[in-house]
Amino acid sequence: MNSPISTALPSVAASPHAKEFSSVSTVMLKVMLALAPATLCGFWYFGWPAISLWLLTVASALAGEAACLVLMKKLVRPALLDGSALLTGWLLAMSLPPWAPWWIGVVGGLFATVVGKQAFGGLGCNLFNPAMVARVALLVSFPVVMTAWVGPSGQSASPGLVESLSITFGGSIPDAYTSATLLGQAKTELSRGVTLLQTFAQGLPVSFSGQRPGSMGETGIVLLAAGGLALLAMRIISWHIPLAMLLGIAIPALIGHAVNPARYLDAGAHLLSGAAVLGAFFIATDYVTSPSSRAGQLVFGAGCGFLTWVIRSYGGYPEGVAFAVLLMNALAPAIDRLCQPRIYGRDWRGNPIKLNKEK
Amino acid sequence: MIGILSLSFLGLFLGLLLGYAAKVFAVEADSVAVELAEMMPGTNCGQCGLAGCTAAAEALVRGEAPATVCPGGGVALAQAIAAKLGIALSLDGLEDPGPQVATVAEEICIGCGKCLKGCATDAIVGAAKQIHGVLDEACTGCGGCMDLCPTGAIVLRPLPQQLKDWNWAKPAFA
Amino acid sequence: MGFLDKITGVSWGVHPHDDHKRPAADVPLRVMPIPATLCVPLLQHVGAPAKPVVAVGDKVLRGQLLASAQGNVSAPVHAPTSGVVTAIGPVIAPHPSGLPFDAITIACDGEDQALPASEMPDPLSLAPDEVTRQIAAAGIVGLGGATFPSAPKAQLGRKHAVETLIINGGECEPYLSSDDCVMRARAVEVVDGIRILMHATGAASALVGIEDNKPEAIAAMRAAAKSFDAIRICPVPARYPMGSDRQLVEVLTGKQVPAGARTATVGVLVNNVSTCAAIHRALRHGESLYRRIVTVNGGAVMDPGNVLAPIGVMVEDLLAFVGLKETPARLVMGGPMMGAALPHALVPTVKGCGGILALSAAEIAKPEPSPCIRCGSCVSACPMGLLPLEIAARVKAGDYDGADAQKLDDCLACGCCAYVCPSHLPLVHAFYHAKGELWKRAQQKKRNEFTKGLAQARTARLEREARERAEAAARRKAERAAQQAAQAAAAAE
- The full set of domain ranges for chain C reads 1-31+123-289, 369-493
First to last CA, chain A: 60
Identify the residue among C364, C366, C374, C382 best suited for mutation to test binding to A, counting A beta carbons within 10 A and taking the highest.
C374
Q: How confident is the model at residue B143 (pLDDT cuts 50, 70, 90)?
A: confident
**Rounded alpha-carbon distances, angstroms, from residue A242 to A36, A225, A255, C378:** 19, 10, 20, 20
Least confident of A144-158, B24-38, B95-109: A144-158
Instruction: Identify the CA nearest to C317 among candidates C298, C335, C294.
Output: C294
Instruction: Identify the CA nearest to C30 among candidates C171, C177, C169.
Output: C177
Q: In what order do the strands lie in the sheet with C340-341?
A: C30-31, C305-310, C291-297, C355-359, C330-333, C340-341
Q: Does the beta carbon of A16 lie under 8 angstroms from any beta carbon of chain C? A: yes
Contact A343 C364 (CB under 8 A): no
Binding residue positions of C? 372, 375, 378, 382, 411, 414, 417, 421
Concatenated DSSP letters of C255-314: PPPPTTS-GGGGTEEEEEHHHHHHHHHHHHH---S-EEEEEEESTTBSS-EEEEEETT-B
> What was the pLDDT predicted at A125?
92
CB C104 within 8 A of CB C81: no
Closest to C385 (Cβ–Cβ): which among A10, A287, A341?
A341
Closest to A15 (Cβ–Cβ): which among C16, C339, C374?
C339
Contact A23 C96 (CB under 8 A): no
> What was the pLDDT predicted at A236?
92
> What was the pLDDT predicted at C336?
95
Concatenated DSSP letters of C172-231: -STT--HHHHHHHH-HHHHHHHHHHHHHHHT-SEEEEEEETT-HHHHHHHHHHTTT-TTE
Binding residue positions of C for [4Fe-4S] cluster? 372, 375, 378, 382, 411, 414, 417, 421
- Cα separation, C310 vs C138, whole angstroms: 15
Closest to B174 (Cβ–Cβ): which among C423, C437, C441?
C423
- Cα separation, C367 vs C375, whole angstroms: 18
Residue B155: strand, helix, or coil: strand
Contact C444 B74 (CB under 8 A): yes
Q: How confident is the model at residue B96 (pLDDT cuts 50, 70, 90)?
A: low
pLDDT at A157 over 70: no
- E-only strand ranges, chain A: 149-150, 178-179
Residue A211: strand, helix, or coil: coil
Q: What integer is the mean pLDDT of B133-139?
A: 82
**Which residue would you say has higher pLDDT here, A170 or A228?**
A228
* H/E segment holding residue C316: helix C315-322
> What was the pLDDT predicted at C2?
43
Q: How confident is the model at residue B94 (pLDDT cuts 50, 70, 90)?
A: low
Contact C369 B172 (CB under 8 A): yes
Q: What count of other Cβ atoms lies within 10 Å of the Cβ of residue C88?
A: 18
Residues with Cβ within 8 Å of B73's Cβ and at least 6 positions away in sequence, in order, are B39, B40, B41, B80, B81, C444, C448
Q: What integer is the mean pLDDT of B44-69?
A: 81
Q: Per-block average pLDDT, block size 10, for chain C (493 residues)?
A: 52 85 93 96 95 96 96 94 96 93 95 90 94 96 93 92 94 95 96 96 95 95 95 94 94 92 92 97 95 96 96 96 93 95 94 95 88 92 94 93 94 95 95 93 84 85 91 92 88 78
Q: What count of other Cβ atoms lies within 10 Å of the Cβ of residue A234?
A: 13
First to last CA, chain B: 58
Sign of CA dihedral C150, C152, C156, C158: positive
pTM: 0.88
Q: How confident is the model at residue A90 (pLDDT cuts 50, 70, 90)?
A: very high
Q: Does the beta carbon of C100 lie under 8 angstroms from any beta carbon of chain B? A: yes
Contact B41 C451 (CB under 8 A): yes
> What was the pLDDT predicted at A2?
39
> What was the pLDDT predicted at C203?
94
**Which residue would you say has higher pLDDT here, A273 or C44?**
C44
Residue C38: strand, helix, or coil: strand
CB A50 within 8 A of CB A98: yes
> What was the pLDDT predicted at A178?
66
> What was the pLDDT predicted at B93?
53
Q: What is the ipTM of this complex?
A: 0.87
- The answer for B 17-56 residues in CB contact with C (under 8 A) is 39-44
- The single-letter code of the amino acid at C469 is R
Residue in chain A closest to C336 (alpha carbons) equals: A17
CB B76 within 8 A of CB C436: no
Closest to C458 (Cβ–Cβ): which among B99, B122, B174?
B122
Contact C342 A10 (CB under 8 A): yes
> What was the pLDDT predicted at C449?
84
- The single-letter code of the amino acid at C10 is V
Q: How confident is the model at residue A209 (pLDDT cuts 50, 70, 90)?
A: low
CB C85 within 8 A of CB C105: yes
Contact A10 C387 (CB under 8 A): no
> What was the pLDDT predicted at A359?
39
- Cα separation, A332 vs C307, whole angstroms: 53
Q: Does the beta carbon of B160 lie under 8 angstroms from any beta carbon of chain C? A: no
Q: Does the beta carbon of A340 lie under 8 angstroms from any beta carbon of chain C? A: yes
CB C418 within 8 A of CB C433: no
Identify the residue among C452, C456, C463 best suited for mutation to test binding to B, counting B beta carbons within 10 A and taking the highest.
C452
**CATH class for domain C1-31+123-289?**
alpha beta
Q: Does the beta carbon of C196 lie under 8 angstroms from any beta carbon of chain B? A: no
> What was the pLDDT predicted at C4?
47
* Phi, psi (rounded to 5 degrees) for B84: -65, -45
Average pLDDT, chain A: 87
- The answer for C 45-104 residues in CB contact with A (under 8 A) is 96, 98
Q: How confident is the model at residue A1 (pLDDT cuts 50, 70, 90)?
A: very low
Q: What integer is the mean pLDDT of A237-255?
A: 95
For chain A, list the contacting chains (3+ Cβ pairs, <8 Å): C
Strands C355-359 and C268-272 turn out to be: unpaired
Q: How far is C347 from chain A (nearest CA, A)?
A: 10
Q: Does the beta carbon of C116 lie under 8 angstroms from any beta carbon of chain A? A: no
Helical ranges in A72-154 per DSSP H: 76-81, 84-95, 102-110, 130-141, 143-146
Residue in chain C closest to A4 (alpha carbons) equals: C327
Count helices and strands in chain B by DSSP H and E runs: 6, 4
Q: What integer is the mean pLDDT of A121-145?
A: 93
Least confident of A55-59, A342-346, B70-74, C153-157: B70-74
Q: Tens digits of per-residue pLDDT, A327-338? A: 999 999 999 999
Which residues, in sequence order, are bridge partners of residue C60? C83
Using CA atoms in the order C67, C71, C73, C75, what is the torsion angle rounded to 10 degrees?
10
Residue in chain C closest to A347 (alpha carbons) equals: C258
- The full set of domain ranges for chain A reads 24-338
Structural domains for chain B: 27-90 (1.10.15.40), 100-160 (3.30.70.20)
Least confident of A263-272, A311-320, B96-105, C291-300: B96-105
Least confident of A70-79, A195-204, C227-236, C274-283: A195-204
Residue C114: strand, helix, or coil: strand
- Cα separation, A110 vs A117, whole angstroms: 10
> What was the pLDDT predicted at B90?
67
Fold of C369-493: Fumarate Reductase Iron-sulfur Protein; Chain B, domain 2 (1.10.1060)
Q: Does the beta carbon of A155 lie under 8 angstroms from any beta carbon of chain C? A: no
Residue in chain B closest to C367 (alpha carbons) equals: B174
Chain C residues touching A23 at Cβ < 8 A: 367, 370, 422-424
Q: Does the beta carbon of C402 lie under 8 angstroms from any beta carbon of chain B? A: no
Q: How far is C159 from chain B (nearest CA, A)?
A: 30
pLDDT at A46 over 90: no
| Three-state secondary structure of B105-120 | CCCCCCCCCHHHHHCC
Q: How far is B117 from chain C (nearest CA, A)?
A: 10
Query: Per residue in B89-121, is it b (16+ CB within 10 Å) or e — as a string?
Result: beeeeeeeeebbbbebeeeebeebbbbbeebbb
> What was the pLDDT predicted at C3?
46
Q: Is C227 exposed, middle or buried (0-12, 13-18, 19+ CB in 10 A)?
A: exposed
| Three-state secondary structure of C415-450 | CHHHHHCCCCCCHHHHHHHHHHHHHHHHHHHHHHHH
Q: How far is C308 from chain A (nearest CA, A)?
A: 22
Contact C429 B140 (CB under 8 A): no
Strands C205-211 and C231-236 turn out to be: parallel
Concatenated DSSP letters of C227-251: T-TTEEEEEE---BTTTSHHHHHHH
Q: How confident is the model at residue B101 (pLDDT cuts 50, 70, 90)?
A: confident
> What was the pLDDT predicted at C210?
96
Chain A residues touching C413 at Cβ < 8 A: 15
Cis bond upstream, residue B66 (ω within 30): no
Q: Does the beta carbon of C266 lie under 8 angstroms from any beta carbon of chain A? A: yes
Size of interface B-C (CB pairs under 8 A): 98
